[in-house]
Structure 1
Amino acid sequence: MPKVLSDAEVQDFRRRLLDVAERAFADQGVEGVSVRQLAQQLGCSAMTPYRYFRDKNEILAAVTAAALDRFSQALEDAFGLQGSVWERSAAVRKAYLRFAFENPRAYKLMFDLPHPAISDFPDLERAAQRAEQIMTAPMERLVTDGSLVGDPRLLGRIFWSAIHGAVSLQLAGKLGRSADFDEVLENMLRFIVAGASSTSSSTRSR
């Protein structure tokens, strides 16, 4: 008969399993990882992980949700700082970059690997919505104060796409020096802001 574990023991095992899974999925890809391999790395029987998760997809959903929550918390903390909306928006961008470069495995897991259907995993769906909400929040404030015009959610996705593209190229070693990355990103974001601002000006002049 399996040993009855305390809540603390259950949480400790889940944490260790998710830590191992994050490294494995990021380094080997989703298809390259099996539950048996995860169990071997944890030094437990092949069936032990099934006491906590139904299958590999549920493990992948859980570890992705956990990474998204860490990411969202970092951005929320940055947006909560004192300052103008532009300063707070810049703080969110810096928090995004800091998280990506300090946690490349988690970043790859969140945004570069295939995921199971989000709607099948409520916690993953919640975490994904939380991440999109904080990435949209600066755009909502900029639109509200008239600095930009447009759908805040669309603007958030545009900025996210731009930053993600630059980060992915840098993580892949395609942009070379950090100075090159900074120049590419700053100019790309400047062009986007200029376009959104000119849209605002032309809209007001009509």
Structure 2
Amino acid sequence: MPPAKSGRHPYHHGNLKETLTESALRLIAELGPAGFTLREVARRAGVSHNAPYRHFEDKQDLLAALAADGFDRLTGSMQSALKPGSTPLERLNLAGRGYVAFALRWPQHFAVMFDTPLAHEQYPALAASGARAFDVLLGLVRECQAARAVQAGDPQQLALLAWSLVHGVAKLAIGGQLPSASKKSALEFCDFATRSLAAGIARR
């Protein structure tokens, strides 16, 4: 008699971590970051309930890993949106588009990054990835200041202002709170918002 099937999906030794994170992302899409347990992640992945502990200390550790990956994706999205030959202000605008595009493409990562109470100082990889993402905007603000395109002042405060603006647009976009649900409309509104910001902080 052949052995009874367990109902679990087979996984190779080398891809357990990826299998678990994909399972967690599906649960986040359904229930939000707070709506499930690590045991449920394992069950959905088709592995034993102890399997997640091979890679993660607890659920918070798993969420921190997802958030760190999300910030790295965000950094890549902003950087890849930049175009050679653009002015500093255009580059700042393009980075904003990259931010919103990231949120629309990876809303589950976005939710973990910003809707989960994770203490960044407890997770060095998360702290580092978050800093790298902020540094993209900070560097662009400094470029604008060097070109005398925006007002002098604390570049970190101006970068935080830019972050707050595009984050708000991204949050509205993935929440369906903009007049149109299309990606094109969200990016066009982001353009309007960042141009308005640039006008407000322009050097006079």
User: What's the TM-score bracket when you normalise by the shorter of the two chains?
Assistant: 0.7 to 0.9
State the percentage of identical aligned residues.
Answer: 27
Q: CA deviation at 1:43?
A: 0.5
Aligned to 1:106: 109
Aligned to 2:199: 194
Looking at structure 2, the residues matched to 95 and 185 of structure 1 have their Cα atoms a distance apart, in angstroms, of 10
Aligned to 1:9: 13
Q: How does 1:80-119 map to 2 (within 5 A)?
A: 81-111=84-114, 113-119=115-121
The alignment partner of 1:146 has SS state of coil
8 Å CA contact 1:61, 1:115 repeated in 2:
no
Name the aligned partner's letter for residue 69 of structure 2: A
Aligned to 1:33: 36
Name the aligned partner's letter for residue 171 of structure 2: S
Q: CA deviation at 1:180?
A: 6.3
8 Å CA contact 2:100, 2:169 repeated in 1:
no
Name the aligned partner's letter for residue 73 of structure 2: R
Q: Residue 31 and residue 103 in structure 1: after superposition, are their counterparts in 2 closer, same or farther (change >3 A)? A: closer
8 Å CA contact 1:162, 1:188 repeated in 2:
yes
Instruction: List gaps (5 residues or longer) in structure 1.
Output: 1-7, 202-206
CA RMSD of aligned residues (A): 2.2
Looking at structure 2, the residues matched to 50 and 183 of structure 1 have their Cα atoms a distance apart, in angstroms, of 44
The alignment partner of 2:149 has SS state of coil
The alignment partner of 2:26 has SS state of helix
Higher helix share: 1
Give me the TM-score of the superposition, normalised by structure 1: 0.82
Looking at structure 2, the residues matched to 182 and 47 of structure 1 have their Cα atoms a distance apart, in angstroms, of 43
Looking at structure 2, the residues matched to 192 and 14 of structure 1 have their Cα atoms a distance apart, in angstroms, of 41
2:154 to 151, 154, 162: 151
Q: Residue 21 and residue 123 in structure 1: after superposition, are their counterparts in 2 closer, same or farther (change >3 A)? A: same
Looking at structure 2, the residues matched to 193 and 110 of structure 1 have their Cα atoms a distance apart, in angstroms, of 26
Deviations 1:40-65 (A, max 9, x none): 01101101111111111111101110
Q: CA deviation at 1:87?
A: 3.0
Bigger CA drift: 180-189 or 141-150? 180-189
Give me the TM-score of the superposition, normalised by structure 2: 0.82
Q: CA deviation at 1:164?
A: 1.5
How many residues get paired?
190
Which structure's relative contact order is higher, taking Cα pairs within 8 Å and 6+ residues apart?
Answer: 2
Instruction: List gaps (5 residues or longer) in structure 2.
Output: 1-11
